[in-house]
């Protein structure tokens, strides 16, 4: 028995220390297993969350005068653009010049709760079904940020964006943009099934604890300017 365990450990060490084997496993997971898991999980998630989905739609429909959804173009894998779906948590209030008011003044009480509890991310399961997004990956940001990225930061677009990610469970909006991008690239370079499961587990814990909200106790943050 001791000899068998020793041999097993010996061969496992050889396999796990083989760069080709590790790269091959990562390729199979990223290209085949991860999309399959994403699609299946999103389908199941939408089914079980449908009552909550409908409730939020009704409440936000009243708060936003009939428009509970928010659509926006975001860059995905390789910078390809897609339309992200989120619950609309802010009004379209404008100033005298016709310009939208700051986020802090447009964020409704209901919207603040929806953001704080991350309920606004539920519709993105539809994006996951369409394979525009993944359950786990770097968050999809604004298209105008693309030209501001350094060569290092652009690596975050080597994988599909996610509903949650390594940066989100390590600070979310309570950390700087540069720190977020460091976490994003680290994830890209260490992507694995085990890491995705860990991130999903940590996400659930943080949602219940409302961790990662910024100092103003909301889920908003200042825009990325290439230096922050």
HSE (side-chain half, CA atoms, 13 Å) at 212: 24
Per-residue pLDDT of the chain (228 residues; tens, 9 = 90+): 445 455 555 555 555 555 555 566 778 898 999 999 999 999 999 999 999 999 999 999 888 777 899 899 999 999 999 999 999 888 777 777 778 777 778 888 888 888 888 888 899 999 999 999 999 999 999 999 999 999 999 999 999 999 999 999 998 778 899 999 999 999 999 999 999 999 999 999 888 876 655 444 444 578 898 887
Domain-wise residue ranges, the chain? 28-209
Question: Secondary structure of the chain in the HEC alphabet?
Answer: CHHHHHHHHHHHHHHHCCHHHHHHHHHHHHHHHHHHHHHHHHHHHHHHHHHHHHHHHHHHHHHCCCCCEEEEEEECHHHCEEEEEEECCECCCECCCCCECCHHHHECHHHHHHHHCCHHHCCHHHHHHCCCCEEECCCCCCHHHHHHCCCCHHHHHHCCCEEECCCHHHCHHHCCHHHHHHHHHHHHHHCCHHHHHHHHHHHHHHHHHCCCCCCCCCCCCCCCCCCC
Which pLDDT score is estimated for 4? 47
Which pLDDT score is estimated for 93? 76
Which pLDDT score is estimated for 101? 78
Which residues is 136 bridged to in the sheet? 164
Residue 33's CB: how many other CB atoms inside 10 A? 12
Which pLDDT score is estimated for 220? 57
pTM tops 0.85, yes or no: no
Which pLDDT score is estimated for 217? 47
């Amino acid at each position: 028995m001791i000899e068998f365990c020793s041999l097993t450990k010996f061969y496992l060490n050889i396999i796990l220390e083989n760069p080709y084997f590790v790269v091959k496993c990562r390729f199979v997971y990223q290209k085949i297993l991860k999309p399959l898991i994403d699609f299946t999980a999103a389908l199941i998630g939408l089914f079980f969350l449908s009552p909550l989905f409908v409730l939020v739609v009704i409440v936000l429909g009243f708060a936003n005068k009939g428009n509970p959804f928010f659509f926006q173009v975001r860059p995905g894998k390789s910078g390809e653009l897609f339309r992200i779906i989120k619950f609309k948590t802010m009004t379209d209030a404008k100033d005298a010049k016709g310009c939208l008011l700051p986020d802090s003044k447009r964020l409704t009480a209901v919207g603040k709760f929806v953001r704080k509890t991350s309920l606004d991310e539920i519709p993105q399961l539809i994006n996951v079904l369409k394979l525009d997004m993944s359950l786990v990956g770097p968050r999809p940001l604004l298209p105008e940020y693309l030209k501001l990225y350094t060569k290092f930061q652009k690596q975050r677009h080597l994988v599909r964006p996610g509903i949650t990610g390594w940066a989100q469970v390590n600070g979310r909006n309570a950390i700087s943009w540069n720190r977020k991008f460091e976490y994003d690239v680290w994830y890209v370079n260490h992507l694995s099934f085990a890491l995705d499961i860990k991130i999903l587990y940590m996400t659930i814990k943080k949602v219940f604890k409302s961790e990662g909200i910024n100092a103003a106790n909301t889920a908003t943050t200042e825009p990325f300017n290439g230096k922050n």
